[in-house]
Amino acid sequence: MKKWATIMVVAISGVVLTACSSNETKAKTVKDTSWSKVEKDKTLTVATSGTLFPSSYYNDKNELNGYDVDIAKEVGKRLGVEVVFKEYNVDGQIASINRNEADFAANDFGLSKERAKKFSLSVPIKYSFDSMIVRKSDDSGIHSLEDLKGKKAAGEPNTSYMKIAEKYGATPVTYDNATNDQYLTDVANGRTDVILNDYYLQKMSVAALPDIPVKILEDVYFNANHTGFLFVKDHKALKAKVDAALKEMQKDGTLKKISEAYFQTDVSVKPKQEIKETVSAD
């Protein structure tokens, strides 16, 4: 009986060792080809919207440009590959990198701790904070975040901004990849009351469309943040290459130059404003 028991233990141990060995071999054979594929194809595919001024939009010549777009183009240049852009709404951009249809997403994405659980995040390319666009005539009846209760908040579905608005009791009015003039016009005519978004994006949007009677609500700022590019969680090789290029661009002043062209200020460094209020989208 003891001999049989010994044989059984040896046999079971052998199965366990074989299984472990098989798993270890499998783990070793799974390689991160995210950079080698780009290098081989000489193409870097970037997901973006083409509708988010001034990060990703079409100019008067019908050319795709913007802060995130120009930085992505410069990264490609420094890596020696062609950059190809594919346009989607926010959900589509996320899906495209998860399906490996794009190598990374570039569309003013916040580099939050929550997002870091699902994606690899680049080094920051923009520092900012959040604000609200309201009607000029009456501030849409909003003087604080608490006043969002009962208001109609405009934005794309499933963004952190819409989640914050809903958290404070606003009714969401969602759009699918709409342009800035549509968003601002709807606030002005009362179809909606407020837009929560990045301060610098809102500042540029309002300045670009001065005939629409809306404004940024003064001194109601929250959520100091930084933005960058999103990668598949395991695509560390590609992220490392992109990060190295971004750090070079920061060091040699290229990020500052691109930033000032779009924002008239250097958003590649932390802002002077002290933003004390932090609001979770959860």
Q: Which CATH class is domain 128-223?
A: alpha beta
**Whether domain 34-126+227-263 has CATH 3.40.190.10:** yes
Question: Which of 134-138, 171-175, 199-203, 239-243 is predicted with the least confidence, judged by mean pLDDT?
Answer: 199-203
Query: In the numeric block, which tokens belong to residue 180?
Result: 């800035």
Instruction: Compute the distance between CA of residue 1 and CA of residue 66 in angstroms, rounded to an integer.
Output: 77
- Whether the pLDDT of residue 238 is over 70: the answer is yes
Q: How far apart are alpha carbons 221 and 102 in whole angstroms?
A: 33
* pLDDT, tens digit (0-9, with 9 covering 90-100), for 153-203: 999 998 889 999 999 999 999 998 788 999 999 999 999 999 999 898 899
Distance of alpha carbon 27 from alpha carbon 97, whole angstroms:
23
- Kindly list the distances between the CA atom of residue 268 and the CA atoms of 68, 112, 137, 250, 258, in Å, as whole numbers in the listed order: 11, 17, 34, 8, 9
Q: Judge contact between 5 and 211, C-beta under 8 A.
A: no
HSE-CB for 222 with a 13 A CA cutoff = 17
All structural domains of the chain with their residue ranges: 34-126+227-263, 128-223
E strands along 186-248, which residues? 194-198, 214-216, 222-232
Alpha-carbon gap, residue 204 to 267, rounded angstroms: 13
- Once rounded to an integer, what is the mean pLDDT over residues 130-148? 97
Residue pointed to by tokens 């500042």? 203
What 3-state DSSP class applies to 58?
Answer: strand
The per-residue pLDDT for range 1-48, each reduced to its tens digit, is 443 333 333 333 334 444 444 454 444 557 899 999 999 999 999 999
Cα–Cα distance for residue pair 261/253, rounded to 1 Å = 13
pTM over 0.85? The answer is: no
Instruction: Name the percent of the chain lying above pLDDT 70.
Output: 89
Kind and range of the H or E element at 50? none
The pLDDT value given to residue 273: 80
- What is the pLDDT of the chain when averaged over all its residues? 89
Residue 68 has pLDDT above 90, yes or no: yes
Do the domains 128-223 and 34-126+227-263 match in fold? Answer: yes
Comparing 281 with 99, the larger pLDDT belongs to 99
Calpha distance 229→239 (Å, rounded): 9
